[in-house]
Amino acid sequence: MNSAGKEVSSDQNRRGNLKIGKLFSGDSRLLWTVLALVIILLVDRLISANFFDVRLVNDRLVGSLINILDNSAPYALLAVGMTLVIATKGIDLSVGAVMAICAAVAVVMIRNYEAGATEFYYQPGFVMLITIIIGAICGLWNGILVAFLDLQPIIATLILMVAGRGVAQMITGGQSPTFTNETLAFIGRGVVFGVPFPIYLALAALILVMLLVRRTALGLLIESVGVNDRASYYAGIQARMIKLFVYMLSGVCAAIAGMIVAGEVKSADPHTAGLFTELDAILAVVIGGTALSGGRFYLGLSVMGVLIIQSLLVGLYVSSLHPTTNLVVKAIVVLAVLLLQSPEFRRFITGPFRRTA
Amino acid sequence: MSTNGQEKTPLLEAQGLTKIFPSTVALSNVDFTLHAGDVHALVGENGAGKSTLIKLITGVYPKDGGTILLEGKEIEPRSPRHAQELGISTVYQEVNLIPTMSVAENIFLGRQPMRYGMIDTRATNRQAKQLLKDFGVDIDVTRNLSSFSVAIQQIIAIVRGVDLSAKVLILDEPTSSLDRQEVDMLFSVIRSLKERGIGIILITHFLDQVYEISDRITVLRNGQKVGEHLVTELPRVQLITEMLGKELTQTLDEKGTEASASRAAGKAYLRVQGYAREGMVEPFDLEIREGEIVGLAGLLGSGRTEVAHLIFGIDQHDQGEAYVRGEQTRITSPRKAIQHGFGLCPEDRKVEGIIGDLSVRENIILALQAKMGWFNYLSRQKQNALADDMIKALSIATPNAEKPVKELSGGNQQKVILARWLISNPDFLILDEPTRGIDVGAHAEIIQIIKRLAKEGKAMLIISSELAEVVDYSDRVVIMRDRKKLRELESDDINENTIMQAIAAD
C-alpha cells in the first residue's frame, strides 16, 4: 500500500471517530469535553437569565462569559505548562508558589523603579523579563531535582511549593507591597480591542507551546519519555534534558501567571498569590484527558478543562446558592465531568439500554 | 552430609507438586527431597519453575496438586509467615529488613527481650552480638543495617531467619551481587548452618558456586524435574545438558551453509580491549568485523546482557577501551553509542524496548528522530513512508501504522524495535535475546532478517539462549560464564556440543 492510500484510510478513521454511533465507544475525548462545557454553560444560563449577555462598557467588554475567560487566563497558562510536565509522568506542585515568588519579584522591582531607581534593569520591560527568568530558574530547580537527582516529582516540587512562599515572603519582607506602574498592571488588567489582555497572553502561550511541541519532535519525545523513560533513553532520547525543559517551561508559565495576578490587584501578597492554583491546574489537565501516568497529552483540552472549572465557578457566583456550598458543588460537578468522559462509566450507564435495543 | 542414608526421614519432602496458571503449567508433578545438613541446589534456566517450587513450599501460592512433608508430617503452608512459623525461612536477594534500624533490632524485630514491660536494648544488643559471633561475624550491632555491605545484610537476614527456629533455609540468588570475598564469608556461614543440621535450598545461576557448596543438585526445566544428583556424581557437561535440554550428540550439527567464509573477510568494526565494570563483568576483549555475526552464549547470569550494556553505554565501563573502525572512542551513554552507529534491541522488550502507548509509526521513527534532534522533525509524510516501508519489509502484522504498539504480539513488537534501528541505518546491531517469547513463524522471520543484515555488511552481536539458533547464524561464538569471557569458538568449531562443553569446561 502506498503512503497516500494510507493517509486516506486513516483520515477516514479519524472522521469515523466523530460519528454519533461512536460516541459511546471510547476515543471521543474532544467531543465529551466540549459537551461538558456546553452543558455547564447552559445550566449557568438557566440560573442566570443574562449569563450570555456581553456589553461594551468604557471600551471594555463586560459579562459573565468575559469573566470566565479573564479568570481562566492564569490557570490556562499554568495548565499549559502542567500538561507537558504531567505528560512526562511528572507533576509540578510548585506553580502556585512560583507565582507568588514571581509576583513578589516583579512588584518589589517595580517599586524601586517608582522610587526613582535609574538602573536599566528596573525598567518595566526588564522587570518582566527578569521575572520570567526567575520563573525559569524555579523550573530549573525542580527539573534538576527530578531529572538529575531522581527525586519523585511530587516530592521534588513539594519542596518548592512549601519553600517558595517563604522565599516570596522574604522578597517582600513579609509585606504585601503595592504599586501603581501602569505597564506592569497592564499585564493583569489591560484591555485590547475591548478584550482583557490576560486572555491574549493565555491564548498566545497555548498557540506558541502547541507549535513548539507539535511542529517539532518535542511532543513525540515528551510522550515517549512519559510512557517509558528507560526505553526512550535506550533509543537515544535525552530524557533528562526533556524533563528539565518541561519543568522550566512550567516555571515560565507560572511567572507570567504570577504577573497577571499581581497586575490585577496592583500588589503582591506572598501568602495568597497563586494559592492552591496548582491543584486547579492539575485538575484541568486531568479533565482534559492527559493521564497522570504520563504519555499522550492534549494541550487544547487542558485549557478546555480550565474553562469548565471557571464556567462552573462563575456560574456559582451569579447563582443564589450560598457561597459556602461552592467547593462541594465544584467537586460534584468535576466528578460528573470525569465520569462523563470515562468510557467504562458510559458503557456501564448505557449498557442496559443497548441490550434492549 | 551427603552420606545421609535414604532410610532416614528427610527433613523436607515434596511429592508431585503441581501448579497451573491460566496460560501455563508452571510446575508439573515435581518431587523434591531435602535432608538435614544438606545444601541442595536448585538450578534451571528462566521459566524452569524454580521460583514456583519455592513459592509453593513457602505458601506464597496455593498448590494445585501434591503434598509437602516436613519431618514426615504433612504441612499446608498458607503464607510465607506461616511457613516461617513451621520452620521454613527464606532469604531473598533483596534483603527484606529495615535499613534504618540497628542490626540488633533487625534480628530481634517483633520479639525483643523485654524488661519491666519495655524493650531491653542492652539485652537485645548482647544477644545479637553473640548470635552473630557464633557465625564468625563480629560487628557493631548497634549500627544501622544500611551501613553494612549487602553480604553482611544477607548474613544478618539469614541469622534472623535461622534464629526464628528455622529447620529449612531457602536462599534465593544470595550471591548475585557479592564479590568473591563476600561469597566466601557467606559460604562459611552456610557451612556452620549445615553443621547444625539445617537443610538449605540454594537457588543460584553460578554453577561454580553450586559445585563448591552444595551436596545435591536438582535440575528443573519447563516446570518439570529433569534430574536429581549428588554433586560428586554429576559432571558439568551433563548438568548443562539437562538445564538446556539438549542431547549431547557425537555428530556435528549441520551448520548454516551460507555462513562464515565469505563474510569473515570484512574489516574490523568494533574492538574492545579489557572492557570491564567492577562487580558486573570481568575484563574482556572482543572484536567484531563488518558483516560478521558474533554470538554470545552462556547461561543466564553469565554476564551476557552486561556485556551488551557496557558496549552500548547503558552501564559505564570502569576499565578498558573501545575502538570503532580503529579509532579510540569513549561511549558513555546510549546516545553516544547511537551516534557512532550502534543499535540495541534489549532483552526485556516491554520495559526497555517498546513505548507501549505510542503507535507503531512513532515507535519506528523514534531512534532516528532522537538522532536528528528536536527541531529537525520528520514530516508526517516521511514518517508514514518510513513506517509503511518497514511494516512491509519486515512483514509486521498490524492493521495500520497508527495502532498502539502494545497491542501487537511479541514477535511483531520485536520487529518494530528492529525497524526502529534499521531506519537509522546502523553499522552495528546488538540483539539481546531477539527471539525470546515469540511464536515460531516470527522466529524464523527474525532469523532471516538477522542473516540478511549481516549480508548487507552490518556487524552484529547476538545474545541468545537458543543454542541451535546461535549455531545457525554465528560466524564466531563467545562463551561467557560467571561474568567472565571464557573463550571464542571459530567457524568450524561451532556446534551445540562444543558450545555446551565450553560453557561447562572446568
DSSP letter string over B413-455? HHHHHHHHHHTT--SEEEEESTTTT--HHHHHHHHHHHHHHHH
Contact A228 B362 (CB under 8 A): no
Residues A154 and A277 sit within 8 Å (Cβ to Cβ):
no
**A281-314 pLDDT per residue, tens:** 999 999 898 988 899 999 999 999 999 999 999 8
- CATH domain A27-350 topology: ABC transporter involved in vitamin B12 uptake, BtuC (1.10.3470)
Q: How far is B151 from chain A (nearest CA, A)?
A: 26
Burial class (CB in 10 A: 0-12, 13-18, 19+), B378: middle
Q: Is the dihedral of CA B437, B439, B440, B446 positive or negative?
A: negative
Gap between the Cα atoms of A238 and A99, Å rounded? 29
User: Which one, of B416, B382, B410, lies nearest residue B396 by Cα?
Assistant: B416
Cβ partners under 8 Å of residue B341, min gap 6:
B324, B426, B427, B428
Question: Number of CB pairs < 8 Å for A and B?
Answer: 94
Name the helix (H) or strand (E) containing B342.
strand B342-345
- What confidence score (pLDDT) does residue A168 get? 96
- C-alpha grid cell, residue A58: 468604557
DSSP E strands, A157-240: 191-192, 195-196
Q: Is the dihedral of CA B97, B98, B104, B107 positive or negative?
A: negative
Helix B150-163 × helix B180-195 angle, to 10°: 10
Q: Which residue of A has its CA nearest to B369?
A: A217
Gap between the Cα atoms of A189 and A182, Å rounded? 9
- What confidence score (pLDDT) does residue B407 get? 84
Contact A221 B369 (CB under 8 A): yes
**A220-243 pLDDT per residue, tens:** 999 999 999 999 999 999 999 999
- What confidence score (pLDDT) does residue A163 get? 95
Residues B429 and B458 sit within 8 Å (Cβ to Cβ):
yes
- Inform me whether the C-beta atom of residue A215 falls under 8 Å from chain B C-beta atoms: yes
Please say if the pLDDT value at position A21 is more than 50: no
Residues B75 and B155 sit within 8 Å (Cβ to Cβ):
no
Name the helix (H) or strand (E) containing B240.
helix B236-244
**B327-337 pLDDT per residue, tens:** 899 999 999 99
- What confidence score (pLDDT) does residue B441 get? 66
Contact B374 A231 (CB under 8 A): no
Contact A227 B356 (CB under 8 A): yes
- B281-289 and B268-277: which strand pairing? antiparallel
How many residues can be counted in chain A? Answer: 357
User: Which one, of A171, A8, A182, lies nearest residue A102 by Cα?
Assistant: A171
- What confidence score (pLDDT) does residue B343 get? 93
What are the angstrom distances between the C-alpha of B20 and each of A63, B31, B48, B168? 67, 16, 14, 25
Contact A238 B401 (CB under 8 A): no
Quickly state the pLDDT bin for A355 (edges 50, 70, 90). Answer: low
Q: How far is A11 from chain B (nearest CA, A)?
A: 11
Gap between the Cα atoms of B79 and B56, Å rounded? 9
Please say if the pLDDT value at position A58 is more than 70: yes
Helix B380-393 × helix B360-372 angle, to 10°: 120
- Inform me whether the C-beta atom of residue A232 falls under 8 Å from chain B C-beta atoms: yes
How many other C-beta atoms lie within 10 A of the C-beta of residue B32?
23
- Inform me whether the C-beta atom of residue B401 falls under 8 Å from chain A C-beta atoms: yes
Q: How far is B453 from chain A (nearest CA, A)?
A: 20
- What confidence score (pLDDT) does residue A353 get? 66
- Inform me whether the C-beta atom of residue A44 falls under 8 Å from chain B C-beta atoms: no
Gap between the Cα atoms of B366 and A235, Å rounded? 7
Contact B375 A217 (CB under 8 A): yes
Q: Which residue of B has its CA nearest to A9?
A: B400
% helix, strand, coil for chain B, step of 5: 40, 25, 35
Which chain B residues are closer than 8 Å to A236 by Cβ?
A: 334-335, 338-339, 367, 370-371
Gap between the Cα atoms of B478 and A80, Å rounded? 52
Name the helix (H) or strand (E) containing B41.
strand B39-43
- Inform me whether the C-beta atom of residue A88 falls under 8 Å from chain B C-beta atoms: no
Q: How far is A228 from chain B (nearest CA, A)?
A: 6
**A133-191 pLDDT per residue, tens:** 999 999 999 999 999 999 999 999 999 999 999 999 999 998 999 999 999 999 999 99
Q: How far is A48 from chain B (nearest CA, A)?
A: 44
Return left, alpha or beta for B245; rule: phi > 0 is left, psi -120 to 50 is alpha, else beta: left
- Inform me whether the C-beta atom of residue B23 falls under 8 Å from chain A C-beta atoms: no
Select from A6, A235, A237 the Cβ nearest to the Cβ of B400. A6
Among A3, A84, A86, the strongest candidate for a mutation testing the B interface, having the largest count of B CBs within 10 A, is A3
Which chain A residues are closer than 8 Å to B384 by Cβ?
A: 3, 6-7
HSE-up of residue A14 (Cα within 13 Å, Cβ side): 8
Which residues of B, range 418-437, sit inside 8 Å of A by Cβ? 420
Q: Which residue of B has its CA nearest to A295?
A: B357
Average pLDDT of every residue of chain A: 88
Helix A239-265 × helix A197-214 angle, to 10°: 170
**Residue pointed to by grid coordinates 551481587:** B177
Which chain A residues are closer than 8 Å to B383 by Cβ?
A: none
Name the helix (H) or strand (E) containing A253.
helix A239-265
Digit-by-digit pLDDT tens for chain B (506 residues) are: 444 444 578 899 999 999 887 766 788 899 999 999 999 999 887 667 888 899 999 998 888 989 999 998 999 999 888 888 888 988 876 667 888 888 888 888 877 777 777 778 888 888 888 888 888 788 888 888 888 877 788 888 888 888 876 889 999 887 766 777 778 888 888 998 898 889 999 988 777 788 889 999 999 888 889 889 998 888 887 887 788 776 544 333 444 444 444 445 578 889 999 999 988 888 999 999 988 999 998 877 788 888 999 999 999 998 999 999 888 999 999 999 999 999 999 988 888 999 999 999 999 999 999 989 888 899 999 999 999 989 988 888 888 899 999 888 777 888 899 899 989 889 999 999 888 766 666 777 888 888 888 888 899 999 987 788 888 889 899 998 888 888 888 877 888 878 888 887 76
Gap between the Cα atoms of A197 and A261, Å rounded? 12
Contact B366 A237 (CB under 8 A): yes
- What confidence score (pLDDT) does residue B90 get? 87
**A193-221 pLDDT per residue, tens:** 999 999 999 999 999 999 999 999 999 99
- C-alpha grid cell, residue B212: 563448591
Which chain B residues are closer than 8 Å to A221 by Cβ?
A: 369-370, 374
- What confidence score (pLDDT) does residue B260 get? 44
**Residue pointed to by grid coordinates 537457588:** B203
Concatenated DSSP letters of B243-303? HHT----SSPPPPPTT-GGGGGGSPEEEEEEEEEETTTEEEEEEEEETT-EEEEE--TTSS
Q: How far is B370 from chain A (nearest CA, A)?
A: 5
Contact B370 A223 (CB under 8 A): no
Residues A110 and A171 sit within 8 Å (Cβ to Cβ):
no
Contact A6 B357 (CB under 8 A): no
- What confidence score (pLDDT) does residue B263 get? 47
Which chain B residues are closer than 8 Å to A217 by Cβ?
A: 369-370, 372-378
How many residues can be counted in chain B? Answer: 506
